[in-house]
A and B are shown apart, each in its own frame.
Chain A
Amino acid sequence: MTATDSAAAAALQQALAAENSAVYGYGVAGAHLTGARRAAAVRNWVGHQNARDALTAMLAARGAQPVAAAAVYELPFSVHSAAAAVALVTLLEDRLSAAYLGLVGLDDPALRAFGARAVRAAALRAATWRRGTLAFPGLDVPAPRAPGPASQGSGSPAPSGHAHGKPTPSHPG
């Protein structure tokens, strides 16, 4: 395997890992959503399963062993409400943008184009959830934060990177 091949395989693995988390996360989030938002979550959940399968096939075609999904993922914050569910799927889409942007940094023009389409698709889903836009999807990914009581998720992203509800994993033990 050449250096170019292994860089491509590594970037595809990153994208696959992000899709695996998205499939898991949408499964969790969907349970807390109703109506149109639940329908959108289900649609995206299926979409992420398809993307996961496509990436798995791309890796297999390159002779690489696709990363396996974990049985359980640690969530960045607890998800017990619709607002937290929306915050979770928004975060997952932001992270997908970042993972697919890795493919755009490769030499292969076909993988670049594939990555750029996927970044755009993830950014569009994220914008639908947050009802706002980011200046640099995938490049400047906002830190995960659980929705606070006053947080509405409207308008464009508040550049409030302050310590509010920082989603660091809970203290071990």
Chain B
Amino acid sequence: MARDATRRRVLTAAAAALPLIAAGCKGIAALGTPPKPAPDVTVATDAIAVETQLIARYGDVLAANPGLATALRPLLAQHHEHLARLHARLIVPVGGQPLPTPRATPRPTGQVPGTQAAALGYLRDAEDAASDALLTHLATAPPSLAQLLASISASEATHALILGTAARHS
């Protein structure tokens, strides 16, 4: 009985291996639909979506309040650094499938408050939300990506702190 079970297992394994061997002769196309992106790709693209949206919000605020440029430029520059480092985590294979586009988040329009203090508060809230959002995949990300996310999340929290202080003094 035990021997039967072993035999069956061996046969099943051999049968499972067959299509793979056959596919090996026909090239990668025979493997069918391309595999889903690896979990770390999903994590990185989600983080890229968070950063991209933040940068867009800075753009909206700066368009409405050009006087804030001096205060906001250093923070915005750091967001571009975040984005670049996250993009560097994604290696695009030559001729491979395009990377999954970041999940589309509805872009808030017409929400930028008019006064400088309110605009700074608006960005502070966005930074706080981003800081939390970046930790969503903390438990499942590969170690070095988890560290990058935690570092960027901490950076966003400090941005929120600086923006909150600026809002109170403007």
Q: Which residues of A contact B (CB under 8 A)?
A: 97, 101, 104-107, 109, 112-113, 115-116, 119-120, 122-124, 126-128, 131-139, 155-156
Contact = CB atoms under 8 A, between A and B. Distances in A.
B161 A135 contact: no
Nearest to A108: B139
A156 B153 contact: no
A109 B131 contact: no
B147 A137 contact: no
B155 A135 contact: yes
Contacts of A135: 78, 81-82, 155
B157 interface: yes
A5 to B, nearest CB: 16
Contacts of A119: 150-151, 153-154
Contacts of A104: 138, 143, 146-147, 150
Contacts of B82: 135
In this complex, the member of A97, A120, A135, A138 whose beta carbon has the largest number of chain B beta carbons within 10 angstroms is A135
Given A105-B147, A119-B151, A155-B74, A124 B158 contact: yes
Interface string B135-155: 100110001101110111111
A123 to B, nearest CB: 4
Contact of B151 (A106, A107, A128, A139): A139
A97 B143 contact: no
The secondary structure that dominates the B interface is: helix
Contacts of B154: 97, 116, 119-120, 122-124, 137-138
Contacts of B162: 127, 131-133
A138 B148 CA distance: 9
Nearest to B146: A104
B158 A106 contact: no
B140 to A, nearest CB: 8
Given A104-B138, A105-B143, A120-B150, 8 more contacts: A106-B143, A107-B143, A119-B154, A136-B81, A137-B151, A138-B147, A138-B154, A139-B151
A16 B170 CA distance: 40
B155 A123 contact: yes
Given A124-B161, A127-B162, A137-B154, A132 B74 contact: yes
